[in-house]
Each structure stands twice: as structure tokens, then as C-alpha cells.
Amino acid sequence: MPSTILAIESSCDDTSAAIMHDAKMLSLGVSGQKIHAQYGGVVPELASRAHQQQIVPVVDFVLKEAGLTPKDIDAVAFTQGPGLLGSLLVGTSFAKGFALAQNIPLISVNHMEAHILAHMIDDPKPSFPFICLTVSGGHTQIVLVNSPSDMIVLGETLDDAAGEAFDKTGKMMGLPYPAGPVIDRLAKEGQRLYSFPIPKIDGYNFSFSGLKTAIRNFLIKHIKEDADFIENHKEDISRSVQDIIIDILLIKLEKAARAYNIDQLAIAGGVSANSGLRARLEALCQENGWKSFIPAFRYCTDNAGMIAMAGHYKFENNAFVDQSITPQPRMKI
């Protein structure tokens, strides 16, 4: 039976709502939070407060865009975790209240599974099984996706996430937060002149904390010789850092594809917006006769469209939760 699902995402610093009908996206609204830029990272208390201010206008916006009223909604899906507790609480409470008021089912969604299922929104879609590299500000995982409800984490970061590697490098370079998109832009004008070591980590796990230290030491050494080193070489530094992060990610992704004999590789999460990563994934797949799947920009960073897609699969399976549900900040796949 076709369903109309309202989805809510509030795990970090984007308040987002979406409406999906029969697996087709009717409307999507995302309200970011500029306030964190001045602090160089997300301040949890401020994020929670901003979600409280933004959630009603964002939901009103998507209902209007879709030409619907609350009575037209068949179920409400929301991000249960992982994420910041105060942020998750706002979306969870709103979803529970909406479901109760409309007397409709409630669907809880894992944010990391939803990032992956963003691939099922628009064509071309991968078929199951495929492997997804999920890279965001809080997570870095390689996941074997057997079906929407059967995902196996093959490896993940032991310390910093790939997005943090971009953001922390940007902080050291004096770039605004979040630095990922800025480094991406600068890297296009630069050359890979500086090399950094690739960490030796077993299996499909990652580590970015050693790279962070290597970059810090590199910058300190060069600034001692030339106080304007960063300003004069920001393009080449950005290109070199971006390329080593991509090397670290793709070495493990390629290894997993070969070991599990999978010929469809996907990327998801905020860092999958990176133009260098997108181009290198496409090249890797072309060389090997594999297929690459790269989501549209609006479905890379945090958005409720992906929550709606995950909610759609759960709706089909009658996988509903009741009003006793609470946020899970450390929820796992």
C-alpha cells in the first residue's frame, strides 16, 4: 500500500524534514545552524536550542511544499541515533508528539543506515549486495549492505572520522568551520607537493589521529622557516591533505571490494560531497570494471530525505516502535 511518510532528522546541527510518498520524495527542507562556525565546531547545547526553534517551521515548510496537511501523513520516521543526545531529543519528542496527535505509526531510524539508503532515493540505484564507504564528521565506516535491514560493518575508524580530519586540518590552517568544503575548493587550485604517511591498521579499520599529528608537525616546521607558509601555500597544502585522506579511504574500500567480491561501490555522508573523492572513486571503479554510486549533493550531508527512505522500508515491514522509544546517542548498525 502506498504510504506518505513525514521524516525528521536532528542528530547533529541540521534540522531537517522531508515527505516521501510511495518511495518518491515530495519535499525536503534543511535548516543549518550558522552559530557553530564562530566556535570552530558544533556546540551541543546551542544545537539543541536551535533545533527547538527550527523544527516547527521546517515541518510546516515541507508540508506546504508537498501541498499536504498533517492528516495526509500515514507514518512519522525520525533519527533515533547515533548523534548528540540534546539534538536527538528534539526530533524524537517532535515525532512522538506528531504520531500521537495524528494517531499514526512511529518509525525509528539509524542515522548511519539512512546515509547508506540515501542511494535508494534516485536512479541509478545499486542492487544488493553493495559496499558503502560512509564518511562524515562523526563516522567513517565500510559497510557490506546485503539489504535495507541487513548491513554488516566491515571496518570503522579507531579514532577521528574522515570529516574530522578535514575539519581539524582546516582549524590548524585557520580556515572556517566546517573546513571540508573549503579544503575541497582550495585543493582544486593546488598540487600534491607534500607527502604524509599512510597509517598501518589491520583489516578494514581506519585511523586519522596520526595524520593529524603529522600535519601539525609539518605546519609548525614550515611556519618556523616562513611565517606566511600557510597563506602562501594553502592550495598545495589542501590538495596534499585531501589526497592522503582519499588514499587512506580508498585503499581499504578497494581491499574490501576484492575480499568480498563486490563490484558495486558507494559513498555516503558529508565527505562524499568531496569532489576529489568522487573523481577518484569513479576512476577506481572504471579501472576495475566496477560500478560507482555517488549520491546527489542534497543527500550527502545530513538530511531527512534519507530518513524517509529508511522509514519507507520499515513501513513496508510494519517495523514500528511505540511511545516508550528514547534516543540512542551511540546507536550502532
Least Cβ distance, residue 146 to ligand KG4 (angstroms) = 23
Binding flag, residue 274, ligand KG4 (CB under 6 A): yes
Strand partners, 321: 106
Kindly give the pairing relationship between strand 106-110 and strand 264-268.
unpaired
- Out of 163, 190, 305, 311, the residue judged to bind ligand KG4 by CB under 6 A: 163
Q: Name which of Zn ion, ligand KG4, none residue 148 binds, using a CB cut-off of 5 to 8 Å depending on partner kind.
A: none
Q: Which of Zn ion, ligand KG4, none does residue 142 bind to, with CB < 5 to 8 Å depending on kind?
A: none
Quick check: 87 binds Zn ion (CB under 5 A)? Answer: no
- Measured at the CA of 209, the angle between CA 237 and CA 255, to 5 degrees, comes to 90
Does the protein bind Zn ion through residue 302 (CB under 5 A)? yes
Q: Binding segment for ligand KG4 among 125-133, 198-206, 221-229, 269-277 (CB under 6 A)?
A: 269-277
In angstroms, give the least distance from the CB of 286 to Zn ion. 28
Q: Is 302 in the site for ligand KG4 (CB under 6 A)?
A: yes
82 binds, among Zn ion, ligand KG4, none (CB under 5 to 8 A by kind): none
3-state secondary structure of 65: helix
> H helices of the chain, where?
44-66, 85-102, 111-117, 162-172, 180-187, 209-225, 229-259, 275-288, 304-316
- Residue 166: exposure state from Cβ atoms within 10 A (0-12, 13-18, ≥19): buried
In the numeric block, which cell numbers belong to residue 198? 599512510
Stretch of 60-68, 264-272, 284-292, 314-322 contacting ligand KG4, by CB under 6 A: 264-272
Contact between 181 and ligand KG4 per CB under 6 A: yes
By CB under 6 A, name the one of 15, 33, 169, 301 that touches ligand KG4: 301
Among 4, 16, 27, 136, binds Zn ion (CB under 5 A): 136
Three-state secondary structure string covering 175-239 = CCCCCHHHHHHHHCCCCCCCCCCCCCCCCCCECCHHHHHHHHHHHHHHHHHCCCHHHHHHHHHHH
Length of the chain: 333
Question: d(Cα 263, Cα 270) in Å, to the nearest integer?
Answer: 23
CA distance 87 to 92: 9
Residue 166 found at the interface with ligand KG4 (CB under 6 A): yes
Q: Which residue in the set 126, 270, 295, 305 belongs to the binding site for ligand KG4 (CB under 6 A)?
A: 270
Which residues of the shown chain bind ligand KG4 in the complex (CB under 6 A)?
Answer: 12, 136-138, 163, 166-167, 178-181, 184, 269-271, 273-274, 301-302
